[in-house]
Amino acid sequence: MDFELLIQNPKFKIENFRKVKILANDGISALGQELLEKAGYTVITEKVNQEDLAKAVNENNIEMVLVRSATTVRKEVIDACPNLKLIGRGGVGMDNIDVAYAREKGLTVINTPASSSQSVAELVMGNLFSISRFLNDSFKNMETGDFSVLKKNYAKGVELRGKTLTIIGFGRIGQSLASYALGAGMDVVAVDSFIKEPITIEVQIGTKQTAKVEITPIASLEEGIKVADYISIHVPKQADGSAVITTKEFEIMKKGVRLVNAARGGVINETDLLAAIESGKVAAAALDVFDNEPNPRKDLLNNAKIATTPHIGAATLEAQDRIGSELADLIIGQFGKLN
The answer to whether the CB of 21 falls within 8 A of the CB of 60 is yes
Backbone angles phi, psi at 210, to 5 degrees: -135, 155
Q: Residues 234, 258, 311, 322: which is the catalytic one?
A: 311
| Straight-line distance from the first to the last Cα atom of the chain, in angstroms, rounded to the nearest whole number | 14
Look up 293 and say whether it is catalytic: yes
β-pairing verdict for 257-261 and 230-233: parallel
Measured CA distances, 12 to 3, 9, 61, 63, 330 (Å): 11, 5, 22, 20, 20
Question: Could you tell me if 163 and 186 are in contact, meaning their C-beta atoms sit under 8 angstroms apart?
Answer: yes
- Within 10 Å of residue 285's Cβ, how many Cβ atoms? 25
Question: Does the annotation count 143 as an active-site position?
Answer: no
Under 8 Å between Cβ of 232 and 167: yes
Instruction: Considering the candidates 104, 293, 297, 318, report the single residue annotated as catalytic.
Output: 293
Candidates 217, 215, 185, 183; CA nearest to 201 is 215
Closest C-alpha among 78, 92, 336 to residue 235: 92
CA proximity to 244, closest of 162, 168, 140:
168
Catalytic residue among 89, 258, 264, 322: 264
Active-site residue 264, yes or no?
A: yes
Q: Which of 60, 47, 184 is nearest to 126 (CA)?
A: 184
The DSSP code for 171 is S
Active site positions, annotated = 264, 293, 311
